[in-house]
Every structure is written in C-alpha cells, then in structure tokens.
A and B are shown apart, each in its own frame.
Chain A
C-alpha cells in the first residue's frame, strides 16, 4: 500500500539526485560533448559506411545463428530430464561474466590456424581455417550468445504451465501438435526480444572485433572509434561515429522495449515439468545430438584455455601481477560505485513513485540508458571533456572504473530496485510507525533485506569489470594494463601460452570476486 505521507528527505534528493546527474552526464552529457565536437567535421567516408554495414551485418548474422541454434538446444533442455541438466543450465549462465578476450583465446585454440579443427582437416589435405574477419567475429558472437539465447528460451518453455502439457497428453497430441499449439506461440512471444537483445549486444561488442576483426573489410563502428582516437587522434571522426553508434543502439533498445512481451521470470529454471511428448527414438536422438554438439562447441574452447594456462600460470612475469592488482582494484571500485548508485537511485525513485508515477518511470528508463550507450561512446565523451584539463592517460584506471560502474548499472538496478521496493512494501510502514529515521531506518530496517541482492549485483559488476576490454584500451599508456589488456597485448605478439596463463588467472580472479561479494551478501544478519 502506498504511504503517501512519507516525505522525500533532503538526503534522498542529494544522493539519488547526484547519482542520476552522474548517469546523465556519462550518457547524454558525453554524447552532447561529442555532438559539439562533431560539428566541425565532414561527411562520412566510404570506410565509415563499410564499418556501419559490417557492424549491422555481423550482428544480424550472429543473432540469427544464435537463435537458430538455441531453439533446438532449449527445446532439448526443456523436454529432457537427465543427470547434468542443472549443471549445463548453470554453465549457460557463466558466459555472462566470462571475459570476452578469454573466449576469443579459447576459440582460437579450437578454430584458429593451428587449432584442433585445422589440425584435424589437415590430415584430409585441407588448408588451415582462417578465423579472422567476418566469419571469426560471427563465430565468437555466436559462442557468446547461444547460452544467453538458450537461457531466455528455456525460461519461455518453463513459463508454459505444466497443466497444458498434461492436457495435451490427455488429448493424444503428438510432438508436432505440441509444437503447433504450445511451443510455436511461446516462441513467437519470446524470440523477438531475445533476438533484439543479442543484436544489441553484438552491435556494441568491442573486444571480439578488436581481436578477430580489423582491416578495411571487418571493422565495426566501435573498432573504428578506437582506431580514430588511438591511431589518428581524429576526435571529430570518433565523435561522429560515436553518435551513429548511440543512435543505432538507442533505436534497437527502443524497439526492444516496445515489443517486449510480459514474461514470467519468477519461475525457477529447475522446476522440471513432466513431459509426455517427444518420446519417440528419433526425437531422443536429435536432442542428444544437439546437446552434445552445443556443449562441445561451448565448453571445448574454455577447457582448452584453462588447461593450457595451468603451466604458464606459475611463470607469469611480475607485470602480470601488477596488472592483476589494477584489475581487482578497478573491479572492486566500480562494483561499489555501481551498487551505491543503484541504492541511491532506487530509494529516490521509490519515494517519487508514490507521488508521481510517470516521473519515476522516466527515471527508470534513464537508469537503463547505458544499455544504449556503448562504453566507447562514454569513454570518448570523457576523453573529449577531460583532455583540455588533464592527460587522459594519467587517469586511465579511475575512468575505467567509472565507465564500468555505469555499464553494470542496468543490471544492478534491475536486481536492487525490486528488492528495495519489496523491503519498503513489507517493512517501510513498520519502520515509519516506530519513528525510525533516515540512517537508523536504512541500517536497521532496509539494509538487512537488501544485503543479498546487493552482494549479488556487486559480484556481477565486479566480474563484468574484471573482464572488460574496452575503455582501458583507449586510455592506457603502454606501461599500465589490466589483465584483459595484458592478454590482448600478449595475443597480438603471439605469446599464446603466456596469454592462456593470464586467462586462467583472470577467470579465477573474476569468479573469486563474484563469489566473495555474493557470499558476503549471504552472511547471517541476525542481530541478537
């Protein structure tokens, strides 16, 4: 129930307002700064047009292929019950926090010139595979997005009430009837959203394009921005490309929101429903085959990196450990910043929602703006804003932490806002009736209800920041690095063994950070 008499206190305006101001500065402000720079520029060159075309085509191909593979995979996971099903579903969540550059290294180990597949086909007299270019970029994006698409679709399947399947079995529907009456309508609701989300992620993905793309034929917009700044120092060009990128992402984001179908995400993935269809041998064979191939495709590259990295891990140079220290510091700072901003914004939004529903809804959209802004747009904007005053190279790490915090904000907001709303709904009135004020109210009444989601989102933000290879490539002087940047530098000089060692260290630290934050949030909070 709304408690309309509860006031918005100055502290909510101060903290929530600053968080929103910072966010607006980072997204719209940086775009504005770029717009102002871009006015002095000429029109787009043919190379720019080809970058735009390549960006859209590779994202389109990646999204289509990911969905096409995810549909049979999700279907197999939804209608089969077997040992390891839960394990596969959990691992499908892992690529979300898997550093892109680690995945690229793994893909090279399997699909590269001297990878397993090339070795295999060499014995049939076929030449080695060429992974660089369009094919490689799409392959890497498909690798990343099959798990995401599969999870979204499995959620779609588990949203079909078990009673429907029981009724279908009762009516004697065969597998094709179930496809027609239950599964296809569900897919029609879920696939467009999943498709657009993957399309959006592939448009703004940078690390993959940097490592596997490049050259006039395989440059994405992000990569072109990076090159314009890093090599040509052409800020006007970078600004212009950044604007195009933002418009493109914002348009896709808007379409995604418009066509979004209400989905029941509350249901657990593992509440396995009984299925009576698909028991014929040919369906069993198909499902088994699909799952085996997809698992090989996903887990072989990862396993190979982690195994190859084990020996080099013990001979890593000291610079790697310095980079590890940088990465962890940046990750922890950006996690804390992201979570604090989410809490301040949520508290502010919840109070405004009681008086003005529409204002708080607009604020919520602002909170998700960084999904449309790419880190490079923000990075370039900060570059333009700061370089008259201070060398961007001097503040590479703080800027990285800030940008990473902004990038993980949509995810932490998505977790923290509902949790805080629930805490306010359940205990806000009690706290008010007891006269608990600002700080003791937050400390005693709200924070204990918020700890778990805060721990989880801090872990997520830290892991995302650990693996990020974006803004840092733009700002870092040669003697400063984070672990992903270190890996990239090693890979471009073909030190693949050492890179695998760094990859293992990076993955271990990411998982450890996530685990520590997540467990921290679960610590018992009974004040006896």
Chain B
C-alpha cells in the first residue's frame, strides 16, 4: 500500500501548503513542525475533510481525492471530540463496526475483545465522562482497532496527557500498528514524540511539507527550517 500526494496545494484563509511525495507501507511517520504550520490541515486533506485546491491524492493507484472520509482506507483520531459523550464506551466502540449501532451477538463479542486489548475490561457500560482523559483515548483507539484500516492517522490526540501517560499511549499505538501491519501518520509538535515512536518524519514548515526522512537522522542534523523550530 502507498499514499501519494501528487502535487497538492491546500489553502486555509491566506495560508497555503504544498506537498508532493509518497508515503510507503509499514512506516510510522511523524508530521512535525510549528503550530499553525499546516500539520493538521495536511492530515485533514489525507483523511478527506478538506479538499485540496489542486493536485491529487492516490491510494495505491486509485484516485481518492474526492472520496468521502469514511470510505478512505484511514482511521483517524482527532485532538478531542473522539467520543460521543452521550453514548456508552461500548457503543462508541461499536460505531467502528456499524455506524447505525445494530450489532449481532458475535459482534458484541468483538467489541468486548477490543476493550480488553486496550486494557479496559468491564468498563464498557460507562459513559466517557466517567473515564480519565487517557482512558477516553484508549476507547477511541479500540474503535480504530475494529475499523482495521491500513492507515492510522493521529491528530495530536495525546497532547493533553502527561509524559508517562503519553508514552504508555504511544506504546499502545505502536502495538496496534505493528499487530495489524498498518501505516501510522502522527501529527506532533514535540520532537521527543517523533523520536519515541516514528522511523520517518515529514517536516512541515514555511508552507511546504517535505518528503519523509529518517527521524533519527533528521533530528541529529536538522535542516535550517527545523533547526529554527527546535531552537538549536
């Protein structure tokens, strides 16, 4: 599998971002750069929430530029509002199987299994408000598990968590991604997070999304745009 950003240009108000590169299968890729640099905008375009002004987005050889979000090969975690506050944990997860919530018995079992895998056994009847922030994002991850898409996109969903909890979540993400052989795209403005989990990094700065580079190498020898952001 691969995702090709074929000469795309995105605008958001007076701000524009261009990207022209290919994302290969099996990598964990960080989208790194300053706030307001267009990281989330790029992810929105890949996930199908924002149409590019020009250029095409390809999945393998198929043009998915105008495909609705749910029909793309992508599961997405937002910064917040990943769960419906009025639905129980179970139902929130079950939405990953059937968006109308009509589940068979076997499918209920699948939901329970997903809950166990993210370490939330017996919490299925609770509503999101009864869980901690980290547990809520676990629920959202459990739903991504069920959706079983080849690409998992994270739009800084752990930004509000403390360092220890964040590492715990990143470990869980790595486990899920490795287990299903998926590709990870993760927006972050923390170089430590990129170094912790990803092998490649897309630097997004000055209206340009650069092709993915090896994360460790990039952080060791940062180009000027990145050095300015890192303050080194």
Contacts and interface: CB of A to CB of B under 8 A. Distances in A.
Interface string A96-138: 0000000000000000000000000000000000000000000
Contact of B50 (A5, A436, A437): A5
B48 interface: yes
B78 A528 contact: no
A261 interface: no
A526 B88 CA distance: 7
Given A5-B48, A528-B125, A445 B84 contact: yes
B125 A434 contact: no
B61 interface: no
Contacts of A426: 81
A430 B81 contact: yes
Contacts, number: 89
B95 interface: yes
Interface in A1-25: 1-7
A527 B90 CA distance: 10
B88 A527 contact: yes
Contacts of A433: 47-49, 69-70, 74-76
Contacts of B50: 1-5
Contact of B95 (A1, A7, A436, A448): A436
Contact of B84 (A2, A437, A444): A444
Contacts of A436: 70, 95, 99-100
A180 interface: no
Contacts of B70: 432-436
A432 B125 CA distance: 24
B58 interface: no
A526 B86 contact: yes
Nearest to B76: A433
A241 B76 CA distance: 60
Contact of A444 (B51, B66, B101, B147): B101
A429 interface: yes
Interface string A489-528: 0000000000000000000000000000000000001111
Given A426-B81, A444-B87, A526-B86, A437 B49 contact: no
A81 interface: no
A310 interface: no
Contacts of B48: 5, 433
A526 B127 contact: yes
B91 interface: yes
Nearest to B87: A527
- Counting chain B residues whose Cβ lies within 8 A of the other chain, the interface size class is 20 to 34
Contacts of B47: 433
Nearest to A449: B86
A430 B84 contact: yes
B49 to A, nearest CB: 5
A90 interface: no
A526 B49 contact: no
Most chain A beta carbons < 10 A, residue from B66, B69, B71, B88: B69
Interface string A347-391: 000000000000000000000000000000000000000000000
Given A436-B100, A440-B101, A4 B51 contact: yes
A528 B88 contact: yes
B127 A432 contact: no
B69 A527 contact: no
A165 interface: no
Interface of A: 1-7, 426-427, 429-437, 439-441, 444-445, 448-449, 525-528
17 contacts: A1-B44, A1-B49, A5-B48, A5-B68, A427-B84, A429-B49, A432-B49, A433-B49, A433-B75, A436-B95, A440-B99, A440-B100, A444-B101, A527-B88, A528-B88, A528-B91, A528-B127
> What 9 A-B pairs are tightest by C-beta distance, nearest first?
A435-B70, A440-B100, A448-B86, A436-B99, A528-B88, A3-B49, A433-B69, A426-B81, A432-B69
Given A3-B69, A430-B81, 17 more contacts: A4-B50, A429-B49, A430-B82, A433-B48, A433-B74, A434-B95, A434-B143, A435-B70, A437-B99, A440-B99, A440-B100, A440-B101, A525-B86, A526-B127, A527-B88, A528-B91, A528-B125
